[in-house]
Structure formats: structure tokens, C-alpha cells
Structure 1
């Protein structure tokens, strides 16, 4: 039947989401992925006895799209949320010695839910804590969709609202670097406002943190593939799309490596922006070169396996040290024989993404000894590094005008990916939302109505 065939190019979260949504609406869907696995940049691999995530990924309770995705693939129980936001923050550079603070919420309504935590936060002075409250109220009044905010950097706005360098480091950047992959000075005010308003100033539980208690591959590859198979999606791994073109009868043709050509009425390109640019047919976007102006930002992950337990918490954030966030991945990795496996997630890694493993070892092992005294007598069983040089799009001021919508000028051709115009930074949430938006746009064009649990979020 005309309009019943779709091809989704890209098997990351955006592509898998689009394929599931289209298949759930009754389309015959083929999903093409060049890698031997699904999951995009949120994946796992084997290293000896360990199953290693390429990087630590978390989500928040406000990430309703990603929670829908977990439910859809029957994986929600494997990536639970905290009962309440609770982030230990350890400052090892305090003049009086290492000090532990906590960012946690109460059951009170916004913004009182964080008041007690901020009042006792030891990493800021009394005056700085009071200033945070005033800035938060001003931030709550911003409209993240206002185009004017996109052209301003977050640091400039924070300075205008009385935020000291220390406050930016110990609070705003502590959260912003992890969510935006940029410091306040390099982040669009529009995206920063969206993160803080949605995560911290919308609902009391919006910032409660969730993360996978199993390898990411169990979710984004194994369970996702099972869900695709059950939905009737034809999934082709190790199959890279080389060209997308319109045929004389108005349908689309996707050429893949090896010579096969797949004909479809609907095509969703769910690949990174440069790959999308290379595949776009002429006229699909008014200014396709804007895609090339969307920069990228790296994330570095440092993995350390000790011969004994050195950390009693599931994770913590750090100040006064190059270390940013540390997570216990022991159980999820399948580590045997005792010991503990820690993963250090290092965003904004432009200055060290190409450093050698030996240099990173010399830098980070002493820092872990400063942070965790129990490591000083422990033996390092393994030390290795994973690097994602293009982990996210760079959320720089002005990036909003570069991000395209799901619908293109070419009928039947749609875009998905965390870098598209979702309103969110480059997160798993943004990727899933983009896949839903692309599928919804396609189904609308086909005159189909598809009710799913994410209509409001999309």
C-alpha cells in the first residue's frame, strides 16, 4: 500500500525510537545501522571479564521521553530513579580540608524543595547561597524558547545576576557541565535556562537521577532489538546508507553499501549532522550548510579497577580537582574476584581528549587518592580510557538557529537526532524526543493518527 513503507537510517536512540513509533502505527519499517550494534553513542563493549559502558549516562525524572523509551523496550526496571535527588559533592581544595556537601531535595513545593540543601551547602558562603536563590527566581522567569536567549552566553547572565566565580564553579557549572557539556561561558542561555528550569525549577522531583544498573548495551541494543523484532521492524546492522534520492514516481530510494537499493515512501535520517548533510538531497533544507556549523564537544571517561572497595556511595561529584563525577560500575560490569570498578565521567574534555593513557593515569590516580583515602593502599588492577570526540553537539550561543526541525522541504523526508530542534541539549532525552517528532511528522503527512503515551512530551 502506498505510504506504508519507511526506512530509518541510523540505529541510535533517535532512530530506534522513530522506527518503533512508525511500526507501532502500522508502517513496514526497515532500520539501517552501519555499526554491528544498536545504541549509537550510548553503548557497551567487552574488555576481558568486564562489560564496559563507553561512558556514564544518566537521566532525570523530567526526562519523560527517555522513560517512555525504557518502558517501550521493557527496560525501566533496569534503570531506576532515585527516590529523591541526592548528590554528594566533595571539595578537596577547601582551606580547612576536604568537605562534603549534598545537593538534595525535600518534598516541599518548588522552589522550597532545595532551600534547606542550599542553606547548608558548605561550598558557598552565606551571601553566595542567598545570591543563588535570587538568581534562581530570575531564571524561573525566563522563556527558554525566546530566540534572544540563544545568542547570550550563560556566564554573562549569571554575572549580571550577582553570581560569583565560586558560585558558578561550585553550583551552576557543577550541574551545567554534566548536562550541557559546556561551561557557562560557552553555553547558550536558552539551553541553560531550559536545563535549570526543567530540571530544578519545574517539579520537586524533576531532577531525581536515574541510571542503568546493567550495561547500556543490555538496554539500547539487546532490549531495543527485541522490541524492534516484536514490532516487525527489519533491522539491518553493518549496513551503511550511501545515498538518498527521489525516484520518478515520487518515492524515495536509499542506496546502501553493496549495491542494494531500498524503496520507501518515508525516510528518516537519524544520523549525526555531518552524515546527514552528506545524505541530504538537493533542496531538502533551505541552507543545509548550517548543519556543518553545529560544532561538537568531546567527553572523556577514565576507568579504574581497584583490588578492593574504595567508595561506599554509588556516585559523587567533585570540586577542587580535575575529577568531575565518579560512579561505581562494579555490579553492572560483572567484575569478579572482589575489588571495585570506578568510572570517571569528564565532560568539556577538549584539553585532554587526545592525552595518552599514561598521562591521564599520572593525572587522575593521585586525584582519586586525594578524594578517596581508601585508594592509597589499594592496587590498581586495570586503568583504561574511552573517548568520544564528538560526544555531543556544542551548545554554544547561537546554536539554536542552526538546529533543523524534523520536517524537511522534501515530502516524506524527516530528520532525527539529539542535535535537531528539540529544545533540549544533546542528551538521551533529546535523541528520543527527536525520533518521536520525526515519526509524528511523517504520520501526520500520511494522514495517520497514532496515539502514544508521549503526545504531550513530543
Structure 2
């Protein structure tokens, strides 16, 4: 271990203050934010070292092996409007492995009707906004005629909101919907159907600012903005293998299983980055780690109110994995009402399963279930899947397991906007990245990538390097 004065255990002294030739940036954290920041810096000619404490890259969007299966820790999707994540896929050569559907089409099954299962669809037509969703809304069977008309009026009011208005962040989305005539059924069958999956919060717990951003950008900006994309391969193929290959090609030194224990300003105006057994010198540092880890590593004075990082709440996502001995779902995915089941995805081909079908259930806002025993979840969800998917009745369950992300996202509660810091800190050469920073987006892969590019842009500006190679979506970091 190297101490802050440069003395190693055993008496060896390392000069950590002497600058090395050329600008050097250390990126701490190998999730999407860190990988993106490292690539953007390397593309601009900066020497980059990327440090990740886990044995793989990808952060909370990763894969692991379970027997013969390759399993994602949870289902992750993106939208056509997610220009930053799409840039990332292009940059690592993975766009063809995570395509976007030709046109938004979401099957919605309602199990609460007295007459039994009823299928509706949310899909778009090749018409300008807002007409692209007009026919879908007019025929959506899970709302009454009056509720459908009310949704249209609320959508127009939402479109008129100014996303730059900070007061939106202080209000909750649920009360705004109620003020605009949305019934509890309309909230459940439409607004929360979309909002829970994108915000990881029900309308009453979500910032109006973040909710308005999601709906205005995804549904009311461009006809194809909400078309859904998802990986047809394991996430590890994209976020670890292809990302690492691209980092190597860009000249980034990548070290996994390497946890940063401390940062300090060195005598040359740069930074000493402490890892077990070594201290790295850097001209700048990007902290691309979760907010609580960033809080522990930040030096005194780096933020005016570092305690705000600890006030950013977290929200869990529960993922339920079921392997059947036969096909029980014909569609690539569906969502449901009138049941605890939220979204169901077919992951058979991506997992490498040769016989039967592997389904992944993504359960957001899982605060009340995240710690329940697997046996309890099995007793609850297998009967629900039989209600939802009649073909599963009588099918043999070959495997049932659960993955839990207790801090999957930051909680998008009212007021969270003023807690999220920008990329720059008050410590020269130290920058922040992560989906939890002030990107304007909720905790999504899109937000993570945007934050990484924003931190890289801030670092390049301070280093006197051109930011001309940054992608088109780059905006000056706060």
C-alpha cells in the first residue's frame, strides 16, 4: 500500500508528484459512465487509466453464468430517443446486437377484467406528433372513452411544460395528473405503465420535472422517439467484452479488481490515486462511481454540500427468472395490468438455452419485495404467470431464481434535482460522472452515458484539449 506521503509499506518511496509526459486522466469506475468517459477522453488524445473494483466492466448492467445459461442481472431497454446510449453502442460496435423495434408496439394484458384476460396495445403510426399515438389511444381497451379523452388533454398540457423550470422538480407527478383530470385507472393503466419502467417510481413518488422529461422526450418529441431497443445478446457481451475491446483499441489502460481507496492532491497540482500497493499520478480524475462511494472519496471542499450525495435516495429493482420446459410466450415481451407482474421478456436465445423458454420478469418499485425469500416469490409469481400466459399451465419449471439490485437507481423523488451535482467540482481536475449526476435524465443507461461524456468534456476543457471529437449530444457540463 502506498501512503499519501509516497512511502510504501516496507520503506520503498515512490515519487507520486512528478508528472508523466502528456496529460493523464484516471477514471474511477467501469460502469457505462466510466467507460464512456474513458473513451471520450482517449478519442481526444488523453492518456487514460480506467480502474474498476469488480472483475468486469458494465456496472449494474452485466451478465453472469448460471449453469449453461448466460444471465443478465436484470432486463435493460432503451428508446430510440436515447441518442447517447445509441452513440455508445455504435462506438463499441454493438448497435446491431441491440436493435430498436421498427415501430413502437407494446402488448398490454389486463387480468383484472371480469370477462378475463384482455389484450391492448400501445403502438404508433407513421404520423407526426401527437397524431402518431392517436389511433392507439382511441382504441386502447384498458381505459374508458372519457379516460382516453382525458389522457389526450393531459398529454397536451404536459407538452406545454418548460423542462427548464426548476419548480417542476418540487412537485410530484401524481398530484399534477390528478389536477389534470387523470383517474386512478388512467394513472395505473397508462402513466404508471410507462413511468414505473423508466423512472422506477409510481407517479405520486416521482418528480414532475423528471416525469415530464420522460414523457415529453419519449412520447411527444418525435414519432419514433419511444421505439424500444434491447440487447439480443447478454449485456456482458456489450458492456464488458466489446467495451473492453474498444477501450484497448483506444489505448486505455483498463484494470479490473482494482479498488481506489483514496485520492489526494499531489505537489505538482495533479492527483494521487491510491490503489492497493500503488499510487497513480493523474492530471485529472473522473469519479464515475455511485453517489455514496463518491462521497467517501471526495476530498474536503470539493463540493459545497457533499452531504447532498447522501440525501439522494435509492430505489430497488427485483428480477425474477423462470425457465420452462416449453415455449409459453410467443411475443418478445409484454406488460400487464391487474397482476403483480410488470414486464416479461423472452431471454431464451440470448441466454444460450437450447430447449424450453427462459423468461425474465423486471419488477421496478420493488421496495416491499426486494428482501422476500425466493420460495415466497415463487409461490406468488408462478400462479400469476399461469394467469398471464395460459401456455405455462402444466409446463414444467426447470429453474426459478431471483436477482436483486437493492440500489438499482436513484430515487426520482420531488426535490432530487437540487441534490444532483454537475460534472465539475471545486477541486481543480476532479470531475463526477454517473446516472445520478445532473444530466436531466432519470437513472437510465442514457443518463450514465451522457454523464460520462459531460465529465470528459469538462476535463478536456481544463486540460486545454479540443472537445471537437465529442459526440453531437454533448452539452457543456454544469
TM-score range, shorter chain: over 0.9
1:315 corresponding residue in structure 2: 333
Which 5+ residue runs of structure 1 have no aligned equivalent?
Answer: none
User: How much has 1:445 moved relative to structure 2?
Assistant: 1.2
Residue aligning to 1:211: 230
What does residue 439 of structure 2 align with?
A: 422
What's 2:309 paired with? Answer: 291
What CA distance in whole angstroms lies between the structure 1 residues aligned with 2:263 and 2:194?
40
Q: What SS does the aligned partner of 2:360 have? A: strand
**RMSD, matched Cα:** 0.8
- Aligned pair 1:132/2:167, yes or no? no
1:344 lines up with 2:365 in the alignment: no
Question: Could you tell me how far apart the structure 2 residues matched to 1:355 and 1:74 are?
Answer: 39
**1:146 positional shift:** 1.2
- Post-superposition Cα deviations, 1:24-45, rounded to whole Å, max 9, x if no partner, equal 1101100000000000000000
Cα distance in 2 for partners of 1:451, 1:357 equals 51
Instruction: Map 1:216-235 to 2 at 5 A.
Output: 216-235=235-254
Q: Could you say which residue in structure 1 is the equivalent of 2:4?
A: none
CA–CA separation in structure 1 for the residues paired with 2:472 and 2:465: 14
1:301 aligned partner? 319
**1:401 counterpart residue number:** 418
**Is 1:376–2:385 an aligned residue pair?**
no
Is 1:265 the counterpart of 2:289? The answer is no
- Cα distance in structure 2, aligned partners of 1:95 and 1:454: 52
Q: 1:58 aligns with which of 77, 80, 83?
A: 77
5+ residue gaps in structure 2? 1-19
Q: Aligned to 2:216, what secondary structure does the other structure show?
A: helix
- Offset at residue 83 of structure 1 (A): 0.3
Q: Distance in 2 between matches of 1:87 and 1:410?
A: 47
Distance, in Å, in 1 between the alignment partners of 2:474 and 2:460 is 17
* Structure 1 equivalent of residue 216 of structure 2: 197
Offset of 1:377 from its aligned partner? 1.4
The reply on whether 1:437 has 2:437 as its aligned counterpart is: no
- Separation (CA, whole Å) in 2 of partners of 1:375 and 1:96: 20
The normalised TM-score by structure 1 is 0.99
* Contact 2:453–2:474 (CA under 8 A) maintained in structure 1: no
Query: 1:172 maps to which residue?
Result: 191
Deviations 1:159-212 (A, max 9, x none): 000000000000000000000000000000000000000000000000000000
> Is 2:351 the counterpart of 1:333?
yes
CA contact (8 A) 1:2 1:265 kept: no
Could you tell me how far 1:289 is from its partner in structure 2? 0.5
267-276 vs 445-454, which moves further: 445-454
Question: Could you tell me whether the CA contact under 8 Å between 2:40 and 2:470 is conserved in 1?
Answer: no
Q: CA deviation at 1:2?
A: 6.2
CA distance in 2, matches of 1:395, 1:457: 23
**Contact residue 3 and residue 266 of structure 1 kept, 8 A:** no
- Could you tell me how far 1:455 is from its partner in structure 2? 3.0
Which of 360, 384, 395 is 1:367 aligned to? 384
CA–CA distance in structure 1, aligned partners of residues 27 and 244 of structure 2:
14
Q: Is the 8 Å Cα contact of residues 453 and 470 (structure 2) preserved in structure 1?
A: no
Q: What does residue 274 of structure 1 align with? A: 292
**8 Å contact from structure 1 (residues 145, 423) kept in 2:** no
State how far apart, in whole Å, the 2-side matches of 1:327 and 1:309 are: 12
Is 1:448 matched with 2:465? yes
The Cα offsets for residues 266-313 of structure 1, whole Å up to 9 and x where unpaired, read as 100000000000000111100101000000000000000000000000
**Structure 1 residues 83, 457: closer, same or farther in 2, change over 3 A?**
farther
1:3 positional shift: 6.0
- 1:95: Cα distance to partner? 2.1
What's 2:373 paired with? 356
**3-state SS of the aligned residue for 1:241?**
coil
Offset at 1:454?
2.2
Report what 1:158 is aligned to: 177
**1:65-115: CA deviations, max 9, x gaps?**
000000000000000000000000000111221100000000100000000
Q: Provide the rounded CA distance (Å) in 2 between the counterparts of 1:351 and 1:118.
A: 32
* Runs of 4+ displaced beyond 6 Å: none
1:29 to 48, 59, 69: 48
- What residue in structure 1 maps to residue 6 of structure 2? none
C-alpha separation between the residues in 1 aligned to 2:474 and 2:219? 18
